[in-house]
Structure 1
Amino acid sequence: MEIIATAESMNQAEALIDAGADRLYAGGHPFGLRLPRPLGLEEIESIVRLAHSRGKAVTVACNALMHNKQIDQFAAYLTQLAEMKVDALAVGDPGAILMLKEQALPIPYIYDAGTLVTSAEQIAFWIGQGASGAVAARELTLKELIMMQQKLDRPIEVLVYGPTCIHQSGRPLLTNYFHYTSGDRASRLDDQVLFLRDPKNAGSQYPIIEDTDGTHIFSTEDLTLMGQLKIMHENGLDTWKLDGVLLRGDAFVSIVALFDEARRAIEAGAFVPESFINRLKKLQPEHRPLGTGFYMKNPEDVH
């Protein structure tokens, strides 16, 4: 059972390793999407050195759909990542994958194309192209994920905690909105989380974030599969991702530590789902309800 956790800084990276994370997930603009904080190459290198000194791994996010300008910059970025010996890349753009293969750099890649990764056959295709695994779409059901993993000999990475991005636009929608309403940006948006609200649900909050990659709108709840971890383990779904893009600092570290404790309980045959679910609720921010999204639905009810 591998725990992957997003890292927003060198300090948090060390805390996440202490909390039980096996692999850290980091990256920077303009190649990595929806990160807790975009990191420069020097900071990524420091995190890689730290992780390797502790026997841990680092995946660098290169999951953007790249335009010509990004592709032109990507070769140099890949060379620098290879020099610092990162353990893997998360890549979804076929052009970026082609460039990685053409450069023959010794970096494994994990296929990460967001909502497109919905079948074992598609993952098998990319494994045939050299992928070491894949990140499953967050719109799949647990039943589908289990069936997919049973057909594959490489791991499927599953989000077990964190938000789902339900919309992305390359345009600066928040900036455009403030220009329209006030003639200028009301304030810097980089470190703010604003919300959209469903007129039919006064309590709904859809986080909306703008960065250099555009505008991202997230689900009203954080997904969790805490209650299903034992079932996942019994069916070979052992690669667990925790995403802290909306939950920063020590609060996210505490949740990673709880999932590590749950993993150890499963290994010891002492896992009680209800207990861990209740403890997770106590750690979860009040304004972010927990849910299972599509995971616990029947596939027939989704498609």
Structure 2
Amino acid sequence: MVTAVQTRKKPELLAPAGDLDKLKFAVMYGADAVYIGGEKFGLRSKAGNFSYEKIKEGVEFAHRHGAKVFVAANIIAHNEDFTGMEEYFQTLYKIGVDAVIIADPAIIEICAMAAPELEIHLSTQASTTNWQTLKFWAEEGVKRVVLARECTMDEIHKIKENVNIEVESFIHGAMCISYSGRCVLSNHMTNRDSNRGGCAQSCRWKYDLFEDGEDGMEPISPDDDSYTMGSKDLCMIEYIPDLIKAGVDSFKIEGRMKTIHYVATVVNAYRRAIDAYYEEPENYRFNEEWMEEILKAANRPITTGFYYHTPTDVDQIFGTPPKVAQFDFAGIVLDYEENTGIATIEQRNRFAIGQEIEMIGPKRDRFEQKITQIWDEDGNEISVANTPLQRVRFKVDRPVNAYDIMRKRK
């Protein structure tokens, strides 16, 4: 029997790509689409943003593997920010970019005039939380709206009941303490504009609390704890069925500044969860291994954000945060020899003989083993790989493939 869920189009899994390597790993580990930043007009000025040449290479790689590429041009523009904008969008269209993500209405208008065939997605920076606003943007020719992170699951249901437009929602990653990222803390504290790509993440700094006492300002932080204003990270891996039933068209992972290990691990976990649900919706069971994988790449404790309730102190990081089980990204598999069982690894963090490691890949389950021998590129036996990007070889217990990742417990 075919269920209603199985006849509904499977939601897109959209991954961050801070540079070309991350784009390739995101695609190989199961992303249906990736979003990147060009060298202009985006909100991640410190990411490894893409030149036109890199965008072209990324688009060609993604398209060969059946994935799409979206480019973020989601600054809130000042007068001086518009120079070269028409040419920028025209070039992106010629390269073959699948869509651009824009927040500012003036930039949307410029893009629509300069490159009318280039698909426009409304950025989460536009703070969209209701179906009437989505209806307005649909009539303006916007193909998709990235909802504000403040939207609840009930509100998403209501939106999809009233508007025939694609909806994209964040399902994983960092949460901004300010409404839809519209923050001026960074501007005041560091003269770096959050809404033009320069956020210094002032909310993640450690602060002490003081009150005006008889002898001046007196500290009131209990137990000498330092406090942040930061949220726990969003994680919806356990609630894939709810997101699908709400009608979300694209599941978005945050993290263009994160590592290859983070991108590959998180994308892989969500890919498996989504596919498992569509295989047997009526018999779907959450696999705890998916959460274990997520936590191995986690930077902070996790929360469901605004989806089910208004966040409280439980969803914020106060005092000393609880420890999150983390692994170090140790290396990337470049090659594997079937006849010898020996893999060539590009080192990303120090590892040595006798160390327990894990190997993960997009097309198989992870496995653990101990390193017993290591050879350098010249065939010399060595005891430790401690040079960045060093290429070494050692025997693995099971077959591996290029793009597989090696990690070690911290």
Give the TM-score normalised by the residue count of structure 1: 0.81
2:205 alignment partner, one of 176, 191, 196? 196
Q: Quick one: which amino acid aligns to residue 24 of structure 2? A: E
Corresponding residue of 1:183: none
Instruction: Work out whether residues 30 and 70 of structure 1, in 8 Å CA contact, stay in contact via their aligned partners in 2.
Output: no
Corresponding residue of 2:138: 127
Q: Higher mean Cα deviation, 12-21 or 263-272? A: 263-272
Say if 2:166 is the partner of 1:151: no
Unaligned regions of 5+ residues in structure 2, if any? 1-10, 193-197, 210-220, 312-410
Instruction: Work out whether residues 14 and 33 of structure 2, in 8 Å CA contact, stay in contact via their aligned partners in 1.
Output: yes
Q: Deviations over 1:245-295 (max 9, x none)?
A: 45322122111100000011101225323625632453243x511101111
Which of structures 1 and 2 has the larger relative contact order (alpha carbons within 8 angstroms, sep 6+)?
A: 1
Distance 1:272 1:246, change over 3 A: farther
Distance 1:29 1:165, change over 3 A: farther
Say if 2:304 is the partner of 1:292: yes
- For the residue of structure 1 that corresponds to 2:76, the secondary structure is coil
Q: Higher mean Cα deviation, 224-233 or 120-129? A: 224-233
Percent identical pairs in the alignment equals 24
Corresponding residue of 1:228: 239
Q: Which structure's CA Rg is the greater one?
A: 2
Q: Quick one: which amino acid aligns to residue 124 of structure 1? A: K
Instruction: Work out whether residues 15 and 263 of structure 2, in 8 Å CA contact, stay in contact via their aligned partners in 1.
Output: no
Corresponding residue of 2:129: 118
Instruction: Work out whether residues 222 and 288 of structure 1, in 8 Å CA contact, stay in contact via their aligned partners in 2.
Output: yes
Q: Deviations over 1:90-122 (max 9, x none)?
A: 111111111122224310101115252011110
Instruction: Work out whether residues 226 and 276 of structure 1, in 8 Å CA contact, stay in contact via their aligned partners in 2.
Output: no
Q: Quick one: which amino acid aligns to residue 307 of structure 2? A: Y
Structure 1 runs, 4 residues or longer, greater than 4 Å off: 170-177, 203-206
Give the Å deviation of 1:233: 1.0
Write the mapping of 1:59-98 to structure 2, written as runs, cut at 5 A. Answer: 59-98=70-109
Write the mapping of 1:24-103 to structure 2, written as runs, cut at 5 A. Answer: 24-34=34-44, 36-103=47-114
Instruction: Work out whether residues 29 and 267 of structure 2, in 8 Å CA contact, stay in contact via their aligned partners in 1.
Output: yes
Corresponding residue of 2:31: 21
Say if 2:175 is the partner of 1:164: yes
Instruction: Work out whether residues 37 and 73 of structure 2, in 8 Å CA contact, stay in contact via their aligned partners in 1.
Output: yes
Q: Quick one: which amino acid aligns to residue 249 of structure 1? A: I
Write the mapping of 1:132-281 to structure 2, written as runs, cut at 5 A. Answer: 132-167=143-178, 168-169=183-184, 173=188, 175=190, 195-198=204-207, 199=209, 200=221, 202=225, 204-205=227-228, 219-269=230-280, 271-273=284-286, 275=288, 278-281=291-294
Q: Deviations over 1:50-75 (max 9, x none)?
A: 11121211110011111222212211
Q: Quick one: which amino acid aligns to residue 271 of structure 1? A: Y
Instruction: Work out whether residues 71 and 97 of structure 2, in 8 Å CA contact, stay in contact via their aligned partners in 1.
Output: yes
Q: Higher mean Cα deviation, 276-285 or 265-274? A: 276-285
- For the residue of structure 1 that corresponds to 2:83, the secondary structure is helix
Give the TM-score normalised by the residue count of structure 2: 0.61
Unaligned regions of 5+ residues in structure 1, if any? 178-189, 207-218
Q: Higher mean Cα deviation, 31-40 or 108-117? A: 31-40
> Structure 1: how far apart are the matches of 2:126 and 2:110?
23
> Structure 2: how far apart are the matches of 1:250 and 1:85?
28
- For the residue of structure 1 that corresponds to 2:132, the secondary structure is helix
Distance 1:115 1:196, change over 3 A: farther
> Structure 1: how far apart are the matches of 2:255 and 2:106?
28
> Structure 2: how far apart are the matches of 1:203 and 1:125?
44
Instruction: Work out whether residues 134 and 165 of structure 2, in 8 Å CA contact, stay in contact via their aligned partners in 1.
Output: no
Give the Å deviation of 1:34: 3.4
Pairs aligned (count): 274
> Structure 1: how far apart are the matches of 2:191 and 2:124?
28
Cα RMSD of the aligned pairs, angstroms, is: 2.7
- For the residue of structure 2 that corresponds to 1:297, the secondary structure is coil
Structure with the largest fraction of helix: 1
Instruction: Work out whether residues 142 and 295 of structure 1, in 8 Å CA contact, stay in contact via their aligned partners in 2.
Output: yes
> Structure 2: how far apart are the matches of 1:8 and 1:15?
11
Distance 1:292 1:276, change over 3 A: farther
> Structure 1: how far apart are the matches of 2:269 and 2:103?
30
